[in-house]
């Protein structure tokens, strides 16, 4: 019976699943964004977010626990360095999953998983934009189009002369 076994086994035994998730987490930490299947991304989020939470408190015990999961010195160093600095004030939800469509070969649902604080394109969109106020037209604004109108008419008078010259 499968009582109380609700997580996705990803069609793998425990050792294979742990190795897969560790390798995905190492790739995610080093590249900040990876493309994978939707099922693997959801399993990776459950696996990696507690590691990021541990990385926020940098002490020897947390480093040893995280290294026990990842087995990669460079990834642990990156996680406790740059990533922990960026997510220090965030209470959770460090990863974002965005669906990207279906894979061509087997129609598997693909997605992109990334750290929320490392997406420069979305952070640029979140920057405060200048708010434009609606103002009524002033006398200067009404005078400006009148000045531009003769300039626009001048090329129109030149256009009929060009065919006459031919």
pTM over 0.75: no
Question: pLDDT tens for residues 11-60?
Answer: 999 999 999 999 999 999 999 999 999 999 999 999 999 999 999 999 99
User: Quick one: pLDDT at residue 108?
Assistant: 97
Confidence band for 125, pLDDT divided at 50, 70 and 90: confident
- Residue 68, burial from CB neighbour count under 10 angstroms (0-12, 13-18, 19+): exposed
SS3 96: strand
8 Å CB contact between 150 and 82: no
Question: pLDDT tens for residues 126-158?
Answer: 766 666 777 777 666 566 655 555 555 555 555
Strand partners, 20: none
CATH of domain 14-121: 3.90.1030.10
- Given CA atoms 113, 118, 123, 124 in this order, what sign does their dihedral have? negative
8 Å CB contact between 47 and 21: yes
- Give CA–CA dist 12/23, Å, rounded: 15
Question: pLDDT tens for residues 64-109?
Answer: 999 999 999 999 999 999 999 999 999 999 999 999 999 999 999 9
Segments making up each domain of the chain, as ranges: 14-121
SS3 109: strand
Residue corresponding to tokens 């460079």: 74
């Amino acid at each position: 019976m499968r009582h109380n076994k609700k997580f996705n086994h990803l069609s793998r035994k425990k050792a294979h699943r742990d190795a897969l998730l560790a390798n995905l987490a190492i790739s995610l930490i080093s590249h900040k964004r990876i493309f994978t299947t939707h099922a693997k991304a959801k399993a990776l989020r459950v696996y990696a977010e507690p590691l990021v939470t541990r990385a926020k408190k940098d002490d020897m015990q947390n480093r040893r626990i995280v290294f026990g999961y990842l087995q990669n010195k460079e990834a642990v160093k990156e996680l406790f360095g740059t990533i922990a600095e960026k997510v220090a004030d965030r209470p959770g939800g460090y990863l974002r999953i965005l669906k990207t469509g279906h894979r061509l070969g087997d129609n598997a649902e693909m997605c992109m998983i990334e750290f929320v604080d490392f997406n420069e394109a979305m952070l640029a969109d979140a920057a405060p934009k200048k708010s434009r106020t609606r103002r009524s037209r002033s006398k200067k604004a009404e005078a400006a189009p009148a000045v531009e109108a003769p300039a626009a008419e001048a090329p129109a008078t030149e256009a009929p002369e060009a065919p006459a010259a031919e």
